Amino acid sequence: MVFPALSSPWRTVVQAVLLVVVSALVVWAPSWRKAPPMPAADAVGYLNLAYHIHQHGVFPDPGYRPTVVPEPGNMVAPLYPGMLSTLMALDTTFAERAECFLFDFYGAPKTCDASVGIEDWGSVLTVHRLLMVLALVLVWVSARVLSPHPVAPWLALGLAASSGVYGSFGQQILTEAVTLPLTTAIALCLALALSCKTALHKARALVGAAALCGIAALVRPTFSYVFYALMLGVLLTALLHKPSRRMALRVLMPMAVVYAAAVLPWMNRNDELFGQWALTGSYGGYILAQRVAYNAMDFSQWVASFLFWLPDFGDDLAAVFFSPDVLRPLDWYAADSFYVLGNGEWMRAYEQAAGGREALQGWLLKEKVLGDLGTHLAVTVPLALRGLWVGKYFGLIGLFCLLSVLISALRYRAWGWWVYCAPALFLVGLQAFVSVSIPRYNLGMVPCMAIAAAVLLVHGWQSLRRRRSPSSLQESP
């Protein structure tokens, strides 16, 4: 079905309503087949932080039981726990259910039913699902910007839905409900900055991207590096592209201002309380400790990791070529796995060598990253690939589609594709460099892969139609 171009107001309204309805069906559908999972692992941690903010007016570090009044902390970025605590203040059902669940989880049950499914926790899942609907709508809009064909946005929407990401994270209390729409919105702003005709519109799009980076950094601090890369890109544009020089130089200050307006209040709070002018405190040292543990892999394990970390079938495929002793450290929870050692024995050794938790990150950067940079970069490659398998087979197929489109875009100088995918690709590399790199960190790749696959399908269909057209049949021997 070919949808008409947006040439009249009623068509625009109908298309917008259809887009929202289809996106909502995609996001809500998983809950009709299976009850959403109860909070676990990170979700419990975020709920607990939000409870302390709501109940005690204190933003703590993770680990405080709900039965105690915590001390202020700075290990976690504030926006997502703050969002949950605001929902608790607005929705008493959510506040009561979360409190009941947390007290039971931490072994101090109250006189309430802690087993009530999260679907009955008030508005919390509705908010997460609406954010996922927004993220899907932004995929459609992005495809509209990147491809002139009217079918491409709908194909991209369907392919993104097929990843399972939007339905899955609409059922969970995790930061991805916020970071996925933000990542897509940043990418869209950059694509618009390149495609807009006037300098004013280009500048507005860049300022919007900077503001969104600031908001996203309050959810996941790695987005601060996306902002720095964006500023560097604009500065290089000013130096190397004369027609855009004036606009690029003029927009640098507004970009810095809107980003600073988002992050400086929280950084100032951390400076006043902890003497650290940063978004988060020592948590980064623990994440980096988990990552540098993988640098201990030998060459056989490095080669094996490319197979072992493939989605779904990777471990079985790797077992054909490598022994269990080679593969076991690459697993998550084996007793001698790099992840378990990096979270336990080795982390304690790193902390002792660094002279304490506060010095851990700096020591790791100096001794384990810069001190052995070649190994660290080599190990970053398979870890980056592991982080790309979003939606398992979706990521595997989507990567080949995206590479095909990006190579073609390079050939034809269609820079909009590279600009759009730049934030997600940058984060893939960065997170593999500083963390254990899991697909959940790289959901921003889903829109890139979905739109690329949609464009390839459209082009393939057009080529097939041309080959089967009467004129081409008459010309054939």
Please state the three-class secondary structure of 275-307 as a single string.
Answer: CCCCCCCCHHHHHHHHHHHHHHCCHHHHHHHHH
- The predicted structure's pLDDT at residue 101: 94
Q: Which tens digit of pLDDT belongs to each residue from 195-223?
A: 988 999 999 999 999 999 999 999 999 99
Q: Which tens digit of pLDDT belongs to each residue from 424-452?
A: 999 999 999 999 999 999 999 999 999 99
Question: Amino acid identity, residue 464?
Answer: L
Over residues 246-264, mean pLDDT: 95
> Are the C-beta atoms of residues 124 and 107 closer than 8 Å to each other?
no
- The predicted structure's pLDDT at residue 354: 86
pTM of whole model > 0.85?
yes
> Are the C-beta atoms of residues 447 and 160 closer than 8 Å to each other?
yes
> Are the C-beta atoms of residues 447 and 158 closer than 8 Å to each other?
no
Question: Amino acid identity, residue 462?
Answer: Q
- The predicted structure's pLDDT at residue 477: 38
Distances from the Cα of 272 to the Cα of 72, 137, 278, angstroms: 12, 40, 11
Residue 417, helix vs strand vs coil:
helix
Question: Amino acid identity, residue 383?
Answer: L
Q: Lowest-pLDDT range, 234-243, 262-271, 282-291?
A: 282-291
Q: Which of 202, 125, 139, 214 is nearest to 170 (CA)?
A: 125
- The predicted structure's pLDDT at residue 41: 87
Q: How many CB atoms lie within 10 A of CB 181?
A: 24
Over residues 297-312, mean pLDDT: 95
Over residues 372-390, mean pLDDT: 95
Q: Which tens digit of pLDDT belongs to each residue from 106-145?
A: 988 888 988 899 999 999 999 999 999 999 999 999 999 9
- The predicted structure's pLDDT at residue 470: 57
* CA–CA distance, 230 with 133 (Å, rounded to integer): 27
CA angle, residues 431, 434, 440, in degrees to nearest 5: 35
Backbone angles phi, psi at 108, to 5 degrees: -135, 60
Residue 474 scores a pLDDT above 70: no
Would you state the structure tokens that stand for residue 357, as one six-digit string?
Answer: 């938790």
Would you state the structure tokens that stand for residue 286, as one six-digit string?
Answer: 């623990």
Q: Which tens digit of pLDDT belongs to each residue from 348-366?
A: 999 889 888 778 888 999 9
**Percent of residues, the chain, with pLDDT higher than 90:** 74
Residue 169 scores a pLDDT above 90: yes
* CA–CA distance, 6 with 10 (Å, rounded to integer): 9
